[in-house]
Structure 1
Amino acid sequence: MFGLSMGLFIEGAVAVLMALTLGYCVILNRRLARLHADREALRLMVGDLVTATNLANQAIKELKATAIEADMTLSVRLEEAERFGVELANHVNAGTTLMQRIVRVTNAARQAPAGQPMISAANTTDTLVREPNKVRAALEQLSAHVRSRGVAA
């Protein structure tokens, strides 16, 4: 009887171990199924990450191109502003020179002796009407002089 109870005990222990193994296999199978499902989700996530990275790289390239274009436009505008600044300085210098001449002429006219005739506005208007070619030539000569002064400054 001892042999029968020992055999029964071993058979029972094997049955319990097999039941535990079967239960563990079921649990392991569920975990593997979740792992496979997570792997698919991870694959989708990696695909989305690659797509987002490609979009970001494209956006960076476009930003670089825009920055280069903006830099070129800004450089052109700065050069144009510098040219206008130089031209404006030339005009200011020419205006200053012209104002100094006007001041000298008015000072000389104020200091002229009483016996010398002064040029009146009526005489100047008559001259402008009677001799337009002389006036036009004088104006051209004056503008040529201003241009030459502007280039020299």
Structure 2
Amino acid sequence: MSHTLGLVIESLVAVLLILTIGYCWLLNKRLLRLRADEQSLKATIGELITVTEIAERAIGGLKLTVREVNDNLGRDIASATALSEHLKKQLAEGDSVLRRLSKIVAAARPSSEQTDEAVLSPARANAAAAEAFAERRRHSGLAA
């Protein structure tokens, strides 16, 4: 019986050793996969760092471009504002000259023509006034 008991115990130890070897083999496979995943994770992290650095440089370039565009746009807006004011002054002066011309023509026309002017459109009346003024200037020798 002692041999049988020893054989059973040794068989049990052999089975446990086989199970241990199988479990170690399984753990080895998992560790190999984990190491492979670790390498790919390191590669992914390296790529991410590289892309982040590129993005930071691109953002710096965009900030510089935005500053330049802002400066240029500010100068262009200031120039456009000055030009707008200059044009407003010129238009006001042109309107003033046109009003004076209309008054001169109206004063120079006989009363029968003034009744015809009421029938004419304002644009035609202004054109007729300018023609009359130019003709009067030509006769006095002041026209170019």
Q: TM-score, normalised by structure 1?
A: 0.72
Identity %: 34
- Identify the structure with bigger relative contact order (alpha carbons < 8 Å, sequence gap 6+): 1
| Equivalent residue, structure 1, for 2:69 | 70
Q: CA deviation at 1:38?
A: 0.9
Structure 2: distance between partners of 1:99 and 1:29: 101
Q: RMSD between aligned alpha carbons? A: 2.0
Counterpart residue type for residue 18 of structure 2: A
Structure 2: distance between partners of 1:120 and 1:48: 86
Structure 2: distance between partners of 1:52 and 1:95: 62
Structure 1 residues 122 and 104, CA gap change in structure 2 (3 angstroms): closer
Counterpart residue type for residue 55 of structure 1: I
| Equivalent residue, structure 1, for 2:118 | none
Q: CA deviation at 1:111?
A: 5.0
| Equivalent residue, structure 2, for 1:4 | 3
Counterpart residue type for residue 96 of structure 2: T
| Equivalent residue, structure 2, for 1:24 | 23
Q: Deviations over 1:50-76 (max 9, x none)?
A: 011111111111112112211111111
Q: Deviations over 1:95-131 (max 9, x none)?
A: 011111111211221259xxxxxx8465334x568xx
Provide structure 1 residue ranges, at least 5 long, that are not aligned to the other structure: 113-118, 130-153
Structure 1: distance between partners of 2:25 and 2:136: 121
Q: TM-score, normalised by structure 2?
A: 0.76
Structure 2: distance between partners of 1:10 and 1:20: 15
Provide structure 2 residue ranges, at least 5 long, that are not aligned to the other structure: 112-134
SS at match of 2:109: helix
Structure 1 residues 60 and 74, CA gap change in structure 2 (3 angstroms): same
| Equivalent residue, structure 1, for 2:58 | 59
Structure 1: distance between partners of 2:136 and 2:29: 115
